[in-house]
């Protein structure tokens, strides 16, 4: 992971934690991808299909969070997948929108 992405991740995560709004922040990221696999700048059909396959596989993985002291990703408590977390996050956003 590039140092710029690491700094952004730490900054945003710290910001949400400081205002006690961790439940309003969901980051789905796979730090194991090589720069070739992680690039979204190549818009060929082949690369877009590969990114879609990566996305589908990532959604099935158990959630992890960056440990702010080490910068390393650690599995979150429980066995919630990114897909389940994303569905829950979208539902909470939708519910909040309905109440405003």
pLDDT in tens, 60-94: 998 887 776 776 777 777 789 999 999 999 999 99
Query: Can you give the residue range of the structural domain that contains 17?
Result: 3-99
- The pLDDT value recorded for residue 33 is 67
Sorted by sequence, the CB contacts under 8 Å of residue 20 that are 6+ apart come out as none
Q: Give the pLDDT of residue 94.
A: 93
Alpha carbon distance 66, 10 (integer Å)? 8
> Sorting pLDDT into bands at 50, 70 and 90, what band is 17?
confident
Predicted pLDDT of residue 16: 81
pLDDT at position 88:
93
Cα dihedral sign for 10, 16, 17, 23?
Answer: negative
How many domains, in total, are found in the chain? 1
In angstroms, what CA-CA distances link 34 with 6, 13, 39, 79? 15, 23, 9, 25
Report pLDDT for 65: 76
Claim: this prediction has a pTM higher than 0.85: no
């Amino acid at each position: 992971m590039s140092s710029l992405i690491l700094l952004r991740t730490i900054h945003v995560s710290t910001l949400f934690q400081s205002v006690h709004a961790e439940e309003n922040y969901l980051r789905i990221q796979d730090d194991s991808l090589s720069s070739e696999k992680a690039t979204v700048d190549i818009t060929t059909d082949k690369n877009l299909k590969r990114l879609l396959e990566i996305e589908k596989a990532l959604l099935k993985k158990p959630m992890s969070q960056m440990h702010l002291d080490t910068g390393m990703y650690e599995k979150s408590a429980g066995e919630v997948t990114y897909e389940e977390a994303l569905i829950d996050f979208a539902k909470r956003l939708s519910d909040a929108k309905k109440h405003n």
